[in-house]
Amino acid sequence: MSIFTSYFKKGSDPFTQLEQHGVQDDEISAMKTYVHQAQDRELYLANPRFLAKKLDMAENRAIDVLTLAAYENLWQLVWETYCSSCSMFLESADTLADIRLDYTCPYCQNEDVIHLDEEVVLRVTLKKEVRVLDPTRRDDPNFRAEIDNQYGPLKALQIINRKIFREILGERNLPANNSLGVQHLAVFFSDLKASTAMYQRLGDVQAYEIVRKHFNIVFSTVEKYAGSAVKTIGDGVMSTFLDNASALKSAMECIRSLQTLNDEYNLMGDDRLRLKIGLHAGPCIVVTMDHRLDYFGSTVNVASRLSSLAEGDDILFSRDVLAQDEAFQVAQKLGYITGQREYIKGFPEPMRLLCLDFDEE
Ligand SMILES: [Zn+2]
């Protein structure tokens, strides 16, 4: 007898629903095979990192496929919170909106606000409509602890920073008027500096083609470094990364790729397109805006402001970006320059700005 029960039309395969979202045949068959063969405890409150390994997928790809599978009611997402001080389990929620904003730990009395990249962990449970898990066998906390030790728990921010999740499950998880905190996010704003001379010389159609190619460069480079292009603002893009080094590397590669694009189109001198990039890292909040998740707060505002202060072919960033060792090493290798103190709107203290300059002239 098939393990797929009558919830789905008899004889039909619930996993084929993933095809319409662009999930590949081999990915679907990997998930089907795994769901068929796994022990009950491997499909109950499972660590998505462990599943990625089992499905032989890159971590972020597995997260995207699980997001689509949750959207199609094959898996249930479960948000668990753990004390940031003693690591004890605090509570579990079906949606982000059900997560408490702050807590007092009953074990160690630690008081803190909840952060999506600290206390909140994502787990997934296979829906009973796909396969019924034996209630006496599925719940195995020791097994889960072992897996978490080996793979590390998946912090909620990692799925929230995926475009697919924000677009298709964001609002369902976090209705408008709700917000949740993030301890650390690297935010970069890129703005395209395209000359009016270039538009006049090439005409709107070809100029637009180049501008469109610039967007593709930024989107694909951000994705390559596991970041997320959150939104476009005019000719600008706001992107977010979990770590500062990836944001820096991605920003540098965007600038270099755009310089190559200039060469392909023979754009010289004042005609060349330049990226003005601003980068800042720190806490922010996640909210639902226009039916999708977005990031807000002063970290976002400062990054945006830095982009407008940049001159072109450069990355203007704050000292906070270098607080992470790997980012410091990347910036040092690229030869960053310490610049003037500048007053940033909304900040009482002037901020010392750092710069990576890729100007070829
Ligand atoms: Zn505690």
pLDDT of residue 242: 97
With cut-offs at 50, 70 and 90, classify the pLDDT of residue 11: low
Q: How far is the CA of 111 from the centre of ligand 1 (A)?
A: 8
pLDDT of amino acid 268: 87
Mean pLDDT of 69-94: 96
Residue 340 has pLDDT above 80, yes or no: no
pLDDT tier, 175 (very low <50, low <70, confident <90, very high otherwise): confident
- Residue 293 and residue 286 in contact, taking contact as beta carbons nearer than 8 Å: yes
Expressed in angstroms and rounded, the spacing between residue 85 Cα and the centre of ligand 1 is 5
Question: What is the Å distance from ligand 1's center to 81 Cα?
Answer: 11
Write out pLDDT tens, residues 94-120. 999 899 989 999 999 999 999 999 999
Predicted pLDDT of residue 233: 92
Q: What are phi and psi of 262, to 5 degrees?
A: -55, -45
Distance between Cα 121 and ligand 1 center (Å):
15
Residue 290 pLDDT class (50, 70, 90 cuts)? confident
What are the angstrom distances between the C-alpha of 287 and each of 65, 242, 280?
Answer: 23, 17, 19
Stretch 216-245: mean pLDDT: 96
Look at residue 6 in the predicted model and tell me its pLDDT: 41
114 alpha carbon – ligand 1 mean position (Å): 13
Residue range 137-162: mean pLDDT, rounded: 96
How many angstroms separate the alpha carbon of residue 150 from the centre of ligand 1?
22
Distance from the Cα of residue 303 to its chain's centroid: 17
Centre of ligand 1 to C-alpha 90, Å, is 8
Report how far ligand 1's centroid is from the alpha carbon of 159 (Å). Answer: 25
Using CB atoms within 10 Å of the CB of residue 253, give its burial: 0 to 12 exposed, 13 to 18 middle, 19+ buried.
middle
At which residue do the structure tokens 């590669």 appear? 253
**Which residues lie near ion ligand 1 (Cβ < 5 Å)?**
83, 85-86, 105, 107-108, 110
Distance between Cα 110 and ligand 1 center (Å): 5
- Give the distance (Å) from ligand 1 centre to CA of residue 47: 21
Ligand 1 center to 151 CA (angstroms): 22
Per-residue pLDDT at 2 exceeds 60:
no
Cα of 181 vs centre of ligand 1, distance in Å, is 19
Q: What is the pLDDT of residue 149?
A: 96
| Ligand 1 centroid, distance to 107 Cα (angstroms) | 5
Q: What is the pLDDT of residue 361?
A: 60
Please name the amino acid found at residue 204.
D
Contact predicate 35/133, CB 8 Å: no
pTM for this model (two decimals)? 0.90
Average pLDDT, the chain: 92
pLDDT tens-digit profile of 252-265? Answer: 999 999 999 999 98
**C-alpha 61 to ligand 1 mean position (Å):** 33
Among 243, 70, 46, which Cα is nearest to 170's?
A: 70
Quote the ligand 1 centre to 80 CA distance (angstroms). 14
How many A from CA of 116 to the centre of ligand 1?
Answer: 17
Do 117 and 156 form a contact (C-beta atoms < 8 A)? yes
Please, what's the largest Cα pairwise distance for the chain? 73
More confident site: 347 or 234: 234
Please, are residues 265 and 208 in contact by the beta-carbon 8 Å criterion? no
pLDDT of the residue at 151:
97
* pLDDT 10s digits, 39-76: 999 999 999 999 999 999 999 999 999 999 999 999 99
Burial of 282 (0-12, 13-18, 19+ CB in 10 A): buried
CA 106 to centroid of ligand 1, rounded, Å:
7
